[in-house]
Structures are given as structure tokens and as C-alpha cells.
Amino acid sequence: MRRLAVLVAVPGLLVACGTTRTVTHTVTVTRTATVPSADQRIYGHIRGVTSSAGGYEVRFDPAWFLTGVTANAAAADDRGLTCEPTACPGVPDDNLVVDESNRTYIYLLPAGVRGTVLTTSSSGFEATTVTGSQLARIAGGTSALRLFEPLESGVWLTVHIDTIRSFAQQYMP
């Protein structure tokens, strides 16, 4: 079967006659999907560590670690002061920890996960890398490590869904 095709182009006129054929051209467009991450970085206090299959269960009480205008405005509000957020008085040590409840949540801690705690050194303190099993001993009071300040200063956890990937003790002046 023969077909007659006419093609019109702008601004001029183009006429073509003859047979046509269908050509399929496939184009693959790669897009990165925007998927929310299951990773979180949370601040709070370790309330207990117990042994579990393949590692430990950490009882963790999350809190808000606020700095800057956010901390200043929250502290002013706590004291009943009215001020423009950028004009509120500064908080001591430039941070404010807000712990709205004492509820704890359980996160899994594989024994080999590494993180840092603050230990006493000749220059004051230093970040010392420890494993999950060492953190369990520190939290249980059976570690020989001398902490610069107790874990009560707070700990940052990097968590993937329900599993701790790393941890770091927070320095509190």
C-alpha cells in the first residue's frame, strides 16, 4: 500500500510526496527518584543498654538540642519573656536541651558498630573511638575507660530505621 504524505513547515511551505514508513525511536530518560531517607540523626540520653542477639538494645530518651535563635526564643518563652526571636537574650553555652518527656525508645545496636565518647586526656579531653560492646560496658558502669563527662551529657545517634549505625557523645561545657 502506498501513501501520499504532505509535510508543511513554518515559516515557509515544504511539500513532500511519496511513500511513508513508520520509525520507532526509543529514548530512555534517567531520573533519580526522590525517596525519603530512612536515616535519622537524633540527640538524647542513653537510659540503658541490654544484651540482645547479635548485639544490644539501647533504651534512648530523645531530646531537642537547640542552638541559635531557636534556643534563645524557646528559653525566653520558658521564662515568660516576650521578645522578637532575633532579639531574645542568649542562652548559656549557646545551646538549650529540651526534653519534653522521659519516654524511651529501643534501638538496635550491633556489637561492632563504632562511635565516639569523650575521655580524659593530658590536654583535657579527646574523642575516643569505641565499639557498641564498649558503649554497653560504659553505660553499665563496667568500663575501665575514664570519661571526661558522663554519658548524661547526651549522645548523637545515626539511625537507619531501627538500627544504630554510629554514635557520638556530645560535649557540654
Write down the residue that cell numbers 535519622 correspond to: 40
**Percent composition of the chain: helix, strand, coil (DSSP 3-state, to 5):** 15, 40, 45
Enclosing H/E stretch for 57: strand 55-67
**What mean pLDDT is reported for the chain?**
88
Over residues 5-18, the mean pLDDT reads 53
User: At 7, is the pLDDT very low, low, confident or very high (cuts 50, 70, 90)?
Assistant: very low
Is the entire prediction scored with pTM above 0.85?
no
The residue type at 5: A
Q: For residue 2, is pLDDT > 80?
A: no
Q: Mean pLDDT, to the nearest integer, of 134-156? A: 95
What is the pLDDT confidence band of residue 110, given thresholds at 50, 70 and 90?
Answer: very high
Burial of 62 (0-12, 13-18, 19+ CB in 10 A): middle
